[in-house]
Amino acid sequence: MAYRGRASELRVEHKIIIIKIDKESRGELVQIIERNRAKSFSVKIDLGGVFWAMEALLEAWRKISETTFFSKYRRSSAVFCLQRFDNRRGVFVELSKWMAGTKMSNIIILVEVNGQGWIEMAGLLGKIIHGDNKEKSLLIRTIRMLINDREFKQKGGAMKVPWWRGSVI
């Protein structure tokens, strides 16, 4: 499924997950909407958070046999968490947004068979970052450059990138 600037959809069991660029933020935020039979839930996250969520979903899939998984992305005014849960209905991850110690919003991403739900969701998030052509994407080339940079690794992966308006990746 290609992402060309419009909303992308993913169906996982009885849920539909919609990913779209938030127009009110002039393209700085991505809105992830979860719709089930009864309700709708959404989380808005910046592009650095989209990259983090994609990587965290892939890591959760790699550790699918483990009983716990937790990853966190910190912004100046919010913290985003991706956490694995089990209940009688199955395995899922919860992507939640916390501000001042209060959960503001969350969405649930089901594992489906062999983790396909998490892999497909990570793929859709990757389409936002990479576009249709991974090599021409300025964002992904910059992230790759930073990840391979020795100084970036020495600082523990924290470096300000000015065109992201102060986001820390």
State yes or no: pLDDT of 68 exceeds 80: yes
According to the per-residue pLDDT averaged within each range, which of 13-22, 60-69, 89-98, 117-126 is highest? 89-98
Closest CA to 16 of 98, 90, 121: 121
b/e map 131-160, b = 16+ CB within 10 Å? beeeeebebbeebeeeeeeeeeeeeeeeee
If you average pLDDT over every residue of the chain, what do you get?
Answer: 76
State yes or no: pLDDT of 80 exceeds 90: yes
State yes or no: pLDDT of 153 exceeds 90: no
pTM: 0.69
What pLDDT is stored for residue 6 in this prediction? 60
| DSSP-assigned letters across all residues of 40-61 | EEEEEEEHHHHHHHHHHHHHHH
The model's confidence at residue 72, banded by pLDDT at 50, 70 and 90, is very high
Contact 8, 131 (CB under 8 A): no
Give Cα 13 to chain centroid, integer Å.
Answer: 20
What is the C-alpha to C-alpha distance for residues 86 and 94, in angstroms, rounded to an integer? 11
State yes or no: pLDDT of 161 exceeds 50: no
What pLDDT is stored for residue 40 in this prediction? 92
